[in-house]
Chains A and B, each alone.
Chain A
Amino acid sequence: MSESLIAETVQITGQGGDHVEAYLARPADEGPRGGVVVIHHMPGYDRATKEIVRRFAELGYDAICPNLYWREAPGAAPDDAAATARAQGGVPDERLLGDVAGAGAYLRSRPSSNGKVGVIGYCSGGRQAVLVACNLNVDAAVDCYGAFVVGDPPEGFPLQVSNLVDQLPNLRAPLLGLFGNEDAHPSPEQVAELDRILIVNHKPHEFHRYDDAGHAFFAVDRPAYRVAAATDGWERISAFYTTHLGG
C-alpha cells in the first residue's frame, strides 16, 4: 500500500500515432512495480473512474486511464464527451486496442516499471478488457461485468460492438471476472457460457458471482453500488494483481 501518491494528466501515443489524454496516478516512491491500464465505462473518463485509477496507485501500481473519447470531444466535460461519442457510434475496437497499447507502452517505459501491465475494465470496458487480453501482451486482465463478451447484441445495434467468442481462443492472459447475478448484460447464463468456453480452451480464469448485485456494483456514485460485492471484488482484484503483476 502506498500513502503518498502523484496524480496528473499526461499525453500518450494512441492508435494511429494520435496523442491522447490520459490520467496517471502512481506511488511517489521509485518502485519497481507493475502497471494497470483502467478502461473507463461508457459514461466516460469521469471523476469516479479517476478515483479508481488513484486507488490502484494506492494499491501500489502505476495506473493510467486513457480518455477514449478524446478524439470526439477534447477538453469536454466527461458527460458531454460520452454523449458525443455515443451519438457518433462509440469507440471502434481497433482504436480501443491502439489506445490501450499506447497506455501500456507508456507504463512499461516508466523507470518505475517492473515490465508487467494488467488491464481492467468496467461495463463496456469489461468487454474491452477481454478484447485487449485476446490481442495485446498484457500480464493479467479483469472483466467487471462486461456485456457482449458472449451473446449477440440486439439486431440493428447502433454501436460498433460484436461479441468476442471467436477471439477467446486467443486469450493470452489470466482473466478475473466479477459479475452480479442480477445483471442482464451479461446474464448469469452468459457468464456461465463464457466460463465454459474458457475451460474448453484451457484458459486460466477466476470468476466470482455476487448475489444482490446487478450491473455496475462497483459504481460508488450510483444506486447500483453494492458494498458487499464491491468490497469483496476489490479484494479479489488486489490478490489477482499481486499474483500476476508482482504488486
Chain B
Amino acid sequence: MCTYATVKTSLRGSAKGPDSSWFRVTDGTVYFDHPVHAMAEHTLNIDFADPSRGPSARVAVELTAASARDLVAAIQAALRSAPLALTT
C-alpha cells in the first residue's frame, strides 16, 4: 500500500552526504511507505534535508519497522546515558 502519511519535523543539526559533504539539516520527514532501495515491501523512511539547498540536499534512510523501533530505543538509551544537563 501507499500509506501517504507523512510526519514532518524541524531539526537542528548536520548530516553528511551527498558527495560526502556535510550540510546543515533543517527539516526531517518521516513516513512508513514503500522504500526506494531497501528489500522490504514497506519501511520507515527518514529524510534529513535542507530544502533551501534543493532536493538533493537530503540524506535518506529506509529501515524495516523492527529496525526503526530498535533505532528509537538506541537513540533514547544514548540520550539517557548522557548527563541531563547536556540533553535538555
Contacts and interface: CB of A to CB of B under 8 A. Distances in A.
Contacts of B31: 86
Given A80-B58, A84-B55, A87-B27, A42 B36 contact: no
B2 A87 contact: no
Contact of A79 (B2, B3, B60): B60
A212 to B, nearest CB: 13
Given A43-B34, A79-B60, A83-B49, A72 B2 contact: no
Nearest to B47: A83
Which secondary structure dominates chain A's binding surface?
loop
Given A79-B60, A159-B6, A183 B1 contact: yes
Residue among B7, B55, B60 with most chain A CB within 10 A: B55
B56 A77 contact: yes
B4 A215 contact: no
A85 to B, nearest CB: 9
B36 A158 contact: no
Nearest to B33: A42
Given A81-B55, A86-B29, A124 B4 contact: yes
Contacts of B2: 41-42, 123-124, 147, 185, 215
B11 interface: no
B13 interface: no
Interface residues of B, number: 25
Contacts of A87: 6, 8, 27, 29, 47, 49, 51
B27 A223 contact: no
B84 interface: no
Given A214-B41, A223-B41, A157 B55 contact: no
B34 A222 contact: yes
B40 interface: yes
Nearest to A46: B36
A161 interface: yes
B55 A83 contact: yes
Nearest to B28: A87
Interface in B2-35: 2-8, 27, 29, 31, 33-34
22 contacts: A42-B4, A42-B33, A72-B55, A73-B55, A81-B55, A86-B6, A86-B31, A87-B27, A87-B29, A87-B47, A123-B2, A124-B2, A147-B1, A147-B2, A161-B4, A184-B1, A214-B1, A214-B41, A215-B1, A222-B41, A224-B34, A224-B41
Across chains A and B, which 9 residue pairs bring their CB atoms closest together, nearest first?
A: A185-B1, A76-B55, A73-B55, A80-B55, A84-B55, A79-B36, A158-B6, A159-B4, A87-B29
